[in-house]
Amino acid sequence: MQKDKKNDAVDILLVWPPIENYFSAAVPSIGLAYLAAVLEPHYNVRILECNNEGMYSADAVIEYIRKMKPRVAGFHLATLCVPCTEEIVKALKEDDECPVFLAGGPHASALPAETLDTGIDYIAIGEAEATIVELMDYICGKPNALSPDDIESIAFKRDGQTVITNKRKLLDVNTLPYPAWHLFNKEDYSGALRKTDKILPVMSSRGCPESCTFCYKEIFGTSIRFRNPKDVVDEIEYLKDTFQIEQFAILDENFTLSKKHAMEFCNLLIERDLNLGWYLGNGVRVDSTDEEVIAIMKKAGNYRIALGVDSGNDDILKELKKRITKEQARNAVAVYKKYGYEITTFFLIGAPSETKQTVQDTIDFAIELNPDIASFNNLTPLPGSELYKYYDAKGDLLTKDWRHYNYFYYKDRDPVYNHPTLTWDELRKLRTKAYRKFYFRFGYVFSQFRRLKSFSDFTLLLKKAFTFLGFMKTNL
Ligand code: B12
Ligand code: SF4
């Protein structure tokens, strides 16, 4: 999709760094696509999505950057991306000439001072569409550019001391341009759970007002900002016309929170008759189950939903500050099943008060709900979450080697925190048990076969089964 600008000097390369042991390249980074969109009118921008483009090692990225010689290289940092990025930045800083390094994203926003120690020159904390343009204007010496002290929500070092500037206000989401997907190199994004790879993500809101202890809150805070539904549907129509997408993924953190927003969006989508499938893969809350909304979402093409159920024990749900109950989860699954949805339920294993019995409650509850996919993640205190601060304050974080902060995988992972009662090995075994008990059941296999309506459903089921078996074999 990228424009041919091979002969132009590159002002900024935006990098989604490689992650070892990465499970699914489900969608491209909409954060980088928004940043590219605000930069493009002023600067020559390129994108490198390492995992999605098959670039898995620091060495490959180093060579790529040496060849391209961008003036600035900006990294999107989830916690797992930090070790590889540090390797890249430190190696390039040994060269006679190297780019100016920027970083932003979840890890950099949660721990800006520590992230500067990786060699990054400037960090944009939080939402960065305005920040990145101001930073580029400064770095590129534009007349009237602000000086770093006057650019809000950045961190940098001066004389070895970290400077963090005043906090910037969240922006008006209705002023954002469309994400610049035309600058991305890939046309298709493969995912094991869906029927087509011709897919792009869309965000109709930013943020979530809840405060679950394990969730990341440093970028969009605890408010929710909705876009005008008409603009969102215009964007989707543009994606279909321009990139021939067959599906889209809504990345909102709390799409069903506002009935009015969800209903208006779906009604407009139905009116436009775009004939696109879509899914809500990030999880919606079970306490916002409204049958009228679910019926219209289904009619508008939504076929897959993920529900944040998290535990089969009400006390654990309280401890996690989920503000939901098992009964609400039961009701939600029943209503989504009634409308024929493919349902994923997310569960977490390892809340601070978790015991073998409460994990058993979760396994029993998952079996009772019998969704199409039950995902049991190892509760990992990720920087930016309340749980991280809790374990850090207690001195119970065992390592800050970030490559181990992976909630999908146990393979090659050291323990990252001291759980109050369960050992790391017990947590690992409990999670393996959850997967085995849930999936290796006649009732589960039977319900999956009963859903098949066509040969393509069957091939998708096989694709899911092989992906899952590969995951079980290598990572539990
Ligand atoms: C959609 C999503 C995904 C998608 C797409 C990921 C992506 N990075 O775009 C998929 C499914 C692929 C995914 C994968 C993973 N995800 Co995810 N994901 C999300 C989710 C729900 C929304 C992210 C999003 O699109 N936000 C919207 C855009 C507009 O915001 P943004 O990406 O943050 O970008 C803005 C700023 O951060 C900043 N910015 C971002 N990059 C840069 C770069 C520079 C140079 C600058 C200056 C600024 C800047 O500017 C952007 C515009 O304002 C968040 C939840 C959340 N609350 O953010 C979790 C979240 C980001 N994911 C998380 C995790 C852990 C992962 C995985 C590691 C899971 C795994 N084990 O594989 C991988 C990591 C992938 C990766 N390489 O980053 C954690 C990260 C926490 C942390 N401390 O690292 C979050 C916060 C969820 C949580 N657990 O609380 N994820
Ligand atoms: S887990 Fe879901 S409901 Fe809880 S704060 Fe995060 S996005 Fe909101």
In the chain, where the domains are located: 12-164, 191-475
List the residue whose alpha carbon is closest to atom 7 of ligand 2: 253
Q: Which residues of 402-435 are buried (b: 16+ CB within 10 A; e: fewer)?
A: bbbbbbbbbeebebbbebeebebebbbbbbebbb
Confidence check: pLDDT of 24 > 60: no
The confidence band for 139, taking pLDDT boundaries of 50, 70 and 90, is very high
Mean local confidence (pLDDT), 136-155: 97
The CATH architecture to which 12-164 belongs is 3-Layer(aba) Sandwich (3.40)
CATH topology match: 12-164 vs 191-475:
no
Confidence check: pLDDT of 123 > 90: yes
Q: What is the pLDDT of residue 361?
A: 98
The confidence band for 23, taking pLDDT boundaries of 50, 70 and 90, is low
The confidence band for 25, taking pLDDT boundaries of 50, 70 and 90, is low
Helices (H), 191-290: 229-243, 259-272
Which one has a higher pLDDT value, 254 or 454?
254
Q: How far is the CA of 459 from the centre of ligand 1 (A)?
A: 30
- Residue 283 alpha carbon, nearest atom of ligand 2: 2
- pTM (2 d.p.): 0.95
DSSP 30-79: HHHHHHHHHHTTTS-EEEEETGGGT--SHHHHHHHHHHH--SEEEEE--G
Q: How far is the CA of 32 from the centre of ligand 1 (A)?
A: 10
Dump pLDDT digits (tens) for 98-116: 999 999 999 999 999 999 9
From 190, 192, 106, select the one nearest 375 (Cα to Cα). Answer: 192
Q: Ligand 2 test: best mutation among 219, 253, 328, most atoms within 8 Å of CB?
A: 253
Query: What residue type is 460 in one-letter code?
Result: L
What percentage of the chain reaches a pLDDT higher than 90? 81
Q: What is the pLDDT of residue 7?
A: 54
**Range in 28-42, 261-275, 461-475 the model is least confident about:** 461-475
Confidence check: pLDDT of 476 > 70: no
Q: What is the pLDDT of residue 2?
A: 47
The confidence band for 283, taking pLDDT boundaries of 50, 70 and 90, is confident
Q: How far is the CA of 286 from the centre of ligand 2 (A)?
A: 11
The confidence band for 53, taking pLDDT boundaries of 50, 70 and 90, is confident
Mean pLDDT of the chain: 93
Pocket of ligand 1 (CB under 6 A): 16, 19, 22-23, 26-27, 29-32, 34-35, 74-76, 78-81, 102-107, 110, 124, 127-129, 132, 203, 215-216, 219, 251, 253, 282, 382-384, 406-408
270 within 8 A of 242, measured Cβ to Cβ: no
Mean local confidence (pLDDT), 63-81: 97
Cα(163)–Cα(165) distance, rounded to whole angstroms? 6
Q: Ligand 2 test: best mutation among 285, 347, 375, most atoms within 8 Å of CB?
A: 285
Q: Tokens standing for 348?
A: 């977490």
- Strand order from edge to edge, sheet including 342-349: 199-202, 247-250, 277-284, 302-310, 342-349, 373-378
What percentage of the chain reaches a pLDDT higher than 70? 95
Ligand nearest to the CA of 402: 1
Q: How far is the CA of 99 from the centre of ligand 2 (A)?
A: 37
Ligand nearest to the CA of 70: 1
CB atoms within 10 A of CB 359: 27
Which one has a higher pLDDT value, 450 or 342?
342
Cα(168)–Cα(5) distance, rounded to whole angstroms? 33
Confidence check: pLDDT of 5 > 80: no
Q: Ligand 2 test: best mutation among 254, 321, 345, most atoms within 8 Å of CB?
A: 254
Q: What is the pLDDT of residue 1?
A: 47
Dump pLDDT digits (tens) for 367-403: 999 999 999 999 999 999 999 999 999 999 999 999 9
Confidence check: pLDDT of 3 > 80: no
List the residue whose alpha carbon is closest to atom 3 of ligand 2: 210
Q: How far is the CA of 76 from the centre of ligand 1 (A)?
A: 8
The answer for 32, left when phi > 0, alpha when psi is -120 to 50, beta otherwise, is alpha
The answer to whether the CB of 207 is under 6 A from ligand 2 is no
Find the helix packing angle between 291-299 and 259-272, rounded to 10°: 20
The answer for 396, left when phi > 0, alpha when psi is -120 to 50, beta otherwise, is alpha
Confidence check: pLDDT of 293 > 80: yes
Task: Write out 378-390 in H/E/C secondary structure.
Answer: ECCCCCCCHHHHH
Q: How far is the CA of 344 from the centre of ligand 2 (A)?
A: 16
The CATH architecture to which 191-475 belongs is Alpha-Beta Horseshoe (3.80)
CB atoms within 10 A of CB 443: 9
